[in-house]
Amino acid sequence: MQPSLEEVKKLQAQGNIIPVYKSVIADFLTPVSAFLKLEKDRSYAFLLESVEGGERIARYSFLGGDPFLIKRYRNGQPPDFIENLRSTMARFHSVSLPNLPPFTGGAVGYFGYDMVRTIEDIPNTGTDDLGFDDAVLMFYK
């Protein structure tokens, strides 16, 4: 496991989220097959793959499951969603480590088209025929 416990203790001065990782050889494991194994035992599993962005980003696949926090927004509720989200994000300060991807934990989710109504005063003329949340953000370690 990297970094060592001693290194983690030193890194705590830089932030309250410190990536701990282990490199494994996975020659026969594709991102999709890894996701299929992961999602069997975990709620809210995700797989993010990038094909663009150069070597720094496009070479990584991001997988996760079992968020420790889920933030939802639907039909204007909760009314302070954006400010609450800002406050939540401000609590987390991730330490950047060399040789790791730019994303090592945080929020994964979506903002739907209708989220524009939290910023702009526009009429709501559509019908909610699908029943999806307007935004869902899940926080992972």
- List pLDDT tens digits, range 103-122: 888 899 999 988 988 888 89
Going by pLDDT thresholds of 50, 70 and 90, the confidence category of residue 67 is: very high
- Using an 8 Å Cβ cutoff, are 45 and 63 in contact? yes
pLDDT surpasses 60 at 34? yes
Q: How far apart are CA 69 and CA 88, in angstroms?
A: 10
Q: How far apart are CA 65 and CA 131, in angstroms?
A: 23
pLDDT average, residue stretch 50-54: 67
Residues with Cβ < 8 Å from 133, sequence gap 6 or more? 72, 73, 74, 112
- Using an 8 Å Cβ cutoff, are 64 and 39 in contact? no
What pLDDT score does 53 carry? 61
**DSSP structure class, residue 28:** T
Domain extent listing, the chain: 5-140
What pLDDT score does 56 carry? 56
pTM for the whole thing? 0.82
